[in-house]
Amino acid sequence: MRNTIKALIALEDGTIFHGRSFTGPCEAVGEVVFNTSMSGYQEILTDPSYCGQMVTMTYPLIGNYGINEEDVESNRIQVKALLVKEHQEVPSNWRAQKSLADYLKENDIPGLEGIDTRALTRHIRLRGAMKAAISTEDLDSRSLVEKAVRGPDMMGSDLVREVTCKRPILWRKGKAVGLKQGLDAFQWPDDGNPWRVVTMDFGVKYNILRSLEQRGCTVLLVPADTKSEIINGLKPDGLFLSNGPGDPAAVTYAVQTIQEQIGERPIFGICLGHQLVGLALGGKTFKLKFGHRGGNQPVKDLSTGKVEITSQNHGFCVDVDSLRDPDIELSHINLNDHTLEGLAHKRLPLFSVQYHPEASPGPHDASYLFDRFIEMMKENKK
């Protein structure tokens, strides 16, 4: 019999779920969301876009292939807790280096099992994503509900400051290398790569950086509050706007920088980067009822009519009706709820998508978007 401890999950609306901790004593508060991916739990755990959230996996068996050092998407676990139906204690995969339980324990992240994840997911789908509290210490339902209610709201939360790099980082040969000097003394390395890309780090996933490097980009990550004049001084061929957590409307400093960069050089944004582009173009964002999280979201390319199956992780969306500029073209829509999934500028080198073309985890239908960014930089250099 595995060593587990009784635990409670209390939602802010008073709903209670029962489970067991497979990582020891714990207590945590955060927004509870669900992900429909059948695999990729390691990438999900380390995705900075999940900062401040507790993730429920809808697939019933999690942990069967263990954890390895290669599949991380950031330098640490980002979720507040992992909630599953059944945790597989003993992994079976040639790449596994440790178990899921050991990985969570090392990072002091709660892992709960024995939860009716179908009921929890259905509840969120009907009522919307909401704050929750989990505990093995406080098993009083009323007390735990009160803790959930008092937890921080996702609306208005600037979580980018919690995940962005504190100092500039150069991405080289699949590794993050911190700079010894400041950006005022930075010199691009002579590594033979044809493209120099500055990435505004709002919580970037490593596979985005891998995808850019594979296409001949030297990538420099800069903190989210980097000013436009600093980026101009670096003279990059392109500007990439990364994914990230929290409410995009709270990241006003980045919106200002993006506004000043539009038209200066090619810009490509993903997820939060897309939302910030929408705000910079005069649009508004809103919170989705339960968000899009998983590897099976259908998106239609409005220019070709082609349907892509995409990987997604977002709780906010750009309001289509708020984009009034006739030069803004809506490029992609979600076929489940018809929300905006992509936009482009008709005259300027700028486009962005709400989903994740780097697909880690997820399908690879949209990887061509990185090639589009490269082509845009080529055209801009002529």
Q: How high is the mean pLDDT of the chain?
A: 95
Interval 117-149: pLDDT, tens: 999 999 999 999 999 999 999 999 999 999 999
* Superfamily holding 160-381: Class I glutamine amidotransferase (GATase) domain (3.40.50.880)
Give the range among 140-149, 184-193, 345-354 with minimum mean pLDDT: 184-193
Q: Please tell me whether residue 137 adopts helix, strand or coil conformation.
A: coil
The number of beta carbons lying within 10 Å of the beta carbon of residue 360 is: 23
Confidence of residue 191 (pLDDT cuts 50, 70, 90): confident
Q: What is the pLDDT of residues 24-37, one digit of tens each?
A: 999 999 999 999 99
What digits encode the pLDDT tens for the residues 262-296?
Answer: 999 999 999 999 999 999 999 999 999 999 999 89
Proportion of the chain above pLDDT 70, given as a percent: 99
Looking at domain 5-150, its CATH architecture is 3-Layer(bba) Sandwich (3.50)
Spell out the domain ranges in the chain.
Answer: 5-150, 160-381
**Per-residue confidence band for 1, with pLDDT thresholds at 50, 70 and 90:** very low
Q: Say whether 364 is catalytic.
A: no
Beta bridge partners of 177: 170
> How does DSSP assign 58-113, residue by residue?
SSSEE-TT-B-SSS-SSSS---SEEE-SEE-SS---TT--B-HHHHHHHTT--EEE
Q: Does the active-site annotation cover 165? A: no
The answer to whether residue 123 is catalytic is no
Closest CA to 342 of 285, 296, 299: 299
Check pLDDT > 80 for residue 18: yes
Instruction: Give residue-wise pLDDT tens across range 297-325.
Output: 999 999 999 999 999 999 999 999 999 99
User: How many Å apart are CA 292 and CA 297, to the nearest integer?
Assistant: 8
User: What residues does 218 pair with on adjacent strands?
Assistant: 196
pLDDT at 363: 82
pTM here?
Answer: 0.96
Specify the pLDDT at position 250: 98
What strands, in cross-sheet order, belong to the sheet with 328-334?
Answer: 175-178, 169-172, 217-223, 195-201, 238-241, 267-270, 350-353, 340-345, 328-334, 285-301, 307-318
Q: Which residue among the candidates 26, 51, 217, 271 is catalytic per the annotation?
A: 271
